[in-house]
Amino acid sequence: MGNRISEDSIVKASLRWLKSLPNCKARKRRGGVSNRGEPDLYGCINGVHFEIEVKAPGNRLTKHQKVRLEEWEEAGAIVGVSYSLEDTQNIIKYKLRGKCLI
């Protein structure tokens, strides 16, 4: 199977990093029928809400996940798809540029 990076390892690394930031609260959303399509990670940093869908490299968004991210973005949340810890960091650093101090 090789050294394929798992979604779970990306989630754990991303949560550790997010929780280390000042003025940031982050959580992993639990699965289930009522959360169908909802992004894996959610939280708030300096008053700005974010929603991040985590995918193992090579995997793609489902239709429901794409729709949910679009809905969150329309509501003003920062959204993104992360295939690595670095992607999560870029979503927060670049999409929130000018809105938070990290």
pLDDT per position as a tens digit, 87-98: 999 999 887 775
In the chain, the percentage of residues whose pLDDT exceeds 70 is 88
**Integer Cα distance of 85 and 98 in angstroms:** 21
Residues, the chain: 102
Q: Is residue 79 scored above 80 in pLDDT? A: yes
pLDDT for the residue 32: 67
Q: Is residue 16 scored above 90 in pLDDT? A: yes
The residue ranking higher by pLDDT, 3 or 64, is 64
pLDDT for the residue 94: 80
Q: What is the CATH number of domain 7-95?
A: 3.40.1350.10
- Domain-wise residue ranges, the chain: 7-95
Q: What is the dihedral sign for C-alpha 52, 58, 59, 65? A: positive
Cβ contact 43:18 at 8 Å: yes
pLDDT for the residue 3: 62
